[in-house]
Amino acid sequence: MNKLKKSTIFAYIVVGFGALIMLAPFYFMFIFATHSNGDILSVPPPLWFGSELMNNIDYLLNALPYFWHNVGMSFYIAIITTALNLLFCSMAGYALAMYDFKYRNVIFAFIMGTMLIPPFLGMIPTALVMKYLGWLNTPKALYIPMACGAMGIFMMKQFITSAIPKELIEAARMDGCNEFSIYWRVVVPLIKPAFGTLGLIVFIGQWNNFMGPLVVMNDMKMFTIPLALRSLQGTGMTPWGAICAGAAIAVIPLLIMFTLSSRRLIDGLTAGAVKG
């Protein structure tokens, strides 16, 4: 009995220590963001907050004159992508959940099958397509191709199947509601929880997207945050304080969203992956 307890305590310590390792990079990111490069390069490195945050941000704005514009671009692109996904995925999910129509199963299988296409396969041709369309350095090059994902359709279909009784749809139809108003007035108000989960997932995915903007954005002004941060690398001595300040700005919105809705986010991501 005593032996078992000792091993359990040991396991608690290991798991707790592991959790600290998981969080340590975030801690150092915030610490370094508040220190000058000289402090960071000293031995031992700083372990507590300093007072150089504003200087680091000044440096960041000097090196990246469009940094706030880049932050705005990231928000703008992520928000539009999210809104389009909520609309298109819920429409498709509603059709697949509530209608009996010819080729429904084939269509659903096809949509699911597109999830098997790895993103790198489209990287080069997409860059060329965007060039021919004249969409390089425009936000739509990022939000239009990602406006309706297969996983979102799957999540919406699952949720609508379980949350909305078919009788409700039929009752609305009997009352003379047309097909689009059934979707808009009956279905949409009832699937708000799924909107929340899918919205978070899409927003985070687009906010973190690196490969997409890397091949379609080459004007510094149109960079998203990941691209802007990346461009600080390799120009003489690396400004670690400024990089960490920028990284913190990129990560803070995610940390806020995660703390507010970690349960919903984790459940949504795993359910989407496991059942899909």
Partner 1 sequence: MSAVESAEKIPAVSKKRSLKQRLNAKGYKWAPYLFVSPFFVLFAVFGLFPLLFSIYLSLHYGDATGGIDRMEFVGLANYIYLFRDDAWFHSSLINTGWLALASGIPQHVVAIPLAFFLHTAFKKSRNTVIGAYFVPFITSSVAISLVFTSLFSRDFGVVNMILTQIGNVEIFGFQPLGWLFPTENVDWARPQYIKPMIAFVVFWRFVGWNTVLYLSAMQTIPKDLYEAATVDGAKPWQQFFYITLPQLKPMMFFAVTLTIIGNLQMFEEPFIITGGTGGIEQAGKTAAMHLYLTAFTEGDFGTASAVSWLLFFIIAILTWLNNKILGEKD
53 touches partner 1 by CB under 8 A: no
Q: Closer CB to partner 1, residue 24 or residue 163?
A: 24
Peptide bond into 193 cis (omega under 30): no
| Closest residue by Cα to residue 137 from 230, 71, 67, 213 | 213
What's the CA gap between 254 and 244, in Å, rounded?
Answer: 15
Q: Closer CB to partner 1, residue 119 or residue 193?
A: 119
Site residues (CB under 8 A) for partner 1, limited to 54-83? none
Q: Closer CB to partner 1, residue 62 or residue 114?
A: 114
**Shortest CB 186 distance to partner 1, Å:** 13
Give the side-chain half-sphere CA count within 13 A for 87.
10
From the list 63-71, 75-83, 191-199, 256-264, the region that binds partner 1 by CB under 8 A is 256-264
How far lies 15's CA from each of 11, 20, 22, 23, in Å? 6, 9, 10, 13
Kindly provide the b/e burial profile for residues 228-239, where b requires at least 16 CB atoms within 10 angstroms of the residue's own CB.
bbeebeeeeeeb
**Shortest CB 47 distance to partner 1, Å:** 9
**Contact string 91-130 vs partner 1 (x = CB under 8 A):** xx-xxx--x-x--x--x---x--x--xxxxxxxxxxxxx-
Cβ neighbours, 10 Å, residue 111: 19
From the list 52-60, 64-72, 160-168, 200-208, the region that binds partner 1 by CB under 8 A is 200-208
Site residues (CB under 8 A) for partner 1, limited to 10-49? 11-12, 15-16, 18-19, 21-26, 28-29, 32, 40-45
